[in-house]
A and B are shown apart, each in its own frame.
Chain A
Amino acid sequence: MSDILIALRAELRGIFADRQVRLIILVALVIYALIYPYPYRAELLRDVPVVLVDLDRSTISADLARRVNASEAVMLSHDAPDMITATRLVQERRAYGALVIPEGFERALLRGSQSPVALYADASYFLMYQRVMQGAAVPLRQMGAEVEMGRLIAQGTAPDVALAQVSPAVQVEVPLFNPAAGYATYVLPAAFVLILQQTMLMGLALVATRRGQGLGHPVWRVLGRMGAWVALYALLLPVYLIVLPALYGLPNLGNVPAVLMLGLPFVLATGLLAQCVAALFKRGEVVQVVLLAVGLPFFFLSGFAWPVEAIPAHLNWIAQIIPSTAAIDGLVRVSQMGATLPDIGHRLWHLWGLVGAFATVAVSLEVMAHPSTVAGHQTR
Chain B
Amino acid sequence: MLAVMLREFRLILRRPALLGLVVVLPVLMLVVLTGIFRAGIPTGMAVVVVDLDRSDLSRSITRMLDAAPEITVREQALSLTDARAKIVAGHARGAIYLPQGLERDILRGAPPEIVIFYDNQHMSAGSLVARGARGAIDAALTGLRLSVRQGQGEAPVQAMVSIQPIPLQAHALFNPAFDYVHFLLAALVPTVLQIIAAAATAYAISLDFGPGRHPQVLARMAGGVLPAMLGKILPYTVIFLLILGLSDIALYGWLGVPLRGSLLLMATGAVLFVLGVQLIGAAAFVLTRDMGRAASIIAVITAPAFGFMGLGFPREAMSQLAQAWGALIPGTWYVQLRIDQSLRETPLDISVWSVVWLACIAVALGALVLLRLVRLRREIEATS
Question: Which residues of A approach B to under 8 Å, CB–CB?
Answer: 19-20, 23-24, 27-28, 31-32, 35-36, 38-42, 45, 64, 87-88, 90-93, 97-98, 109, 113-130, 133, 136-137, 140-141, 143-144, 147-148, 151, 160-161, 163-179, 181, 183, 185-187, 189, 281, 283-286, 288-290, 292-297, 300-301, 304-307, 309-312, 315, 329, 332-333, 336-339, 343-344
Contact = CB atoms under 8 A, between A and B. Distances in A.
Question: DSSP majority for the A interface?
Answer: helix
Contacts of A171: 113-114, 116, 134, 137-138, 141
A281 B317 CA distance: 41
Contact of B116 (A35, A174, A292): A174
Contacts of B114: 169-172
Contacts of A93: 316
Contacts of A183: 123, 312-313
B165 A109 contact: yes
Contacts of A109: 165-166
B246 interface: no
Interface stretch (B224-232, B236-244, B288-296): B288-296
A164 B316 CA distance: 42
A33 to B, nearest CB: 11
B111 A116 contact: no
Given A173-B130, A284-B292, A186 B89 contact: no
Nearest to B26: A293
Interface of B: 17, 20-21, 25-26, 29, 32-33, 35-45, 84-85, 87-90, 93, 102, 106, 109-128, 130, 134, 137-138, 141, 144-145, 148-149, 161-176, 178, 180, 183, 188, 191-192, 195-196, 199-200, 203, 206, 291-293, 295-296, 298-300, 302-304, 306-308, 310-319, 321-322, 325-326, 339-340, 343-347, 350
A143 B166 contact: yes
B125 A309 contact: yes
A117 B169 contact: yes
Given A124-B174, A166-B145, A171-B138, A289 B325 contact: no
A217 to B, nearest CB: 32
21 contacts: A23-B296, A38-B307, A38-B318, A39-B326, A91-B347, A114-B165, A116-B167, A123-B176, A147-B165, A170-B111, A175-B117, A176-B87, A176-B121, A283-B17, A285-B291, A288-B292, A300-B33, A305-B312, A315-B35, A343-B88, A343-B90
B319 A42 contact: yes
Given A41-B322, A165-B148, A136 B174 contact: no
Given A39-B310, A163-B111, A172-B115, 16 more contacts: A28-B300, A32-B300, A88-B347, A119-B170, A124-B174, A124-B343, A129-B172, A137-B168, A147-B165, A165-B145, A169-B137, A186-B120, A285-B17, A289-B295, A312-B39, A333-B89
A296 B188 contact: yes
Nearest to A173: B116
By DSSP majority rule, is chain B's interface helix, strand, loop, or mixed?
A: helix
A255 to B, nearest CB: 13
B172 A292 contact: no
B304 to A, nearest CB: 5
Contact of B164 (A98, A114, A161, A175): A114
Contacts, number: 339
Nearest to A130: B127
B112 A169 contact: yes
A41 B291 CA distance: 33
B178 A168 contact: no
Contacts of A176: 84, 87, 117-121
Contacts of B113: 169-172
Contact of A306 (B37, B302, B346): B37
B111 A167 contact: yes
A297 B347 contact: no
A171 B133 CA distance: 10
A178 B313 contact: no
B307 A36 contact: yes
B33 A297 contact: yes
A121 to B, nearest CB: 6
B312 A292 contact: no
Contacts of A295: 195, 303
A148 B163 contact: yes
B121 A38 contact: no
Contacts of B298: 292
A297 B168 contact: no
Nearest to B35: A315
Contacts of A283: 17
Contact of B173 (A19, A123, A300, A307): A123
A31 to B, nearest CB: 6
Given A168-B144, A286-B17, A41 B32 contact: no
A151 B319 contact: no
Nearest to B98: A169
A118 B169 CA distance: 5
Contacts of B178: 123
Nearest to A147: B165
A177 B183 contact: no
A206 to B, nearest CB: 8
A149 B191 CA distance: 53
Contacts of A343: 85, 88-90
A28 B123 contact: no
B314 A128 contact: yes
A307 B122 contact: yes
Contacts of A178: 120-121, 123
A310 B40 contact: yes
B300 A35 contact: yes
A123 B120 contact: no
Contacts of B93: 307
Contacts of B315: 39
Contacts of B89: 333, 339, 343-344
A302 B172 CA distance: 29
A315 to B, nearest CB: 5
A168 B106 contact: yes
A167 B116 CA distance: 17
Contacts of B169: 116-119
Given A31-B300, A148-B165, A292-B298, A300 B17 contact: no
B166 A144 contact: yes
A121 B171 CA distance: 6
B121 A140 contact: no
Contact of A28 (B115, B296, B321): B296
A169 B141 contact: yes
A198 to B, nearest CB: 8
A122 B171 CA distance: 9
B343 to A, nearest CB: 5
A216 B269 CA distance: 57
A344 B347 CA distance: 51
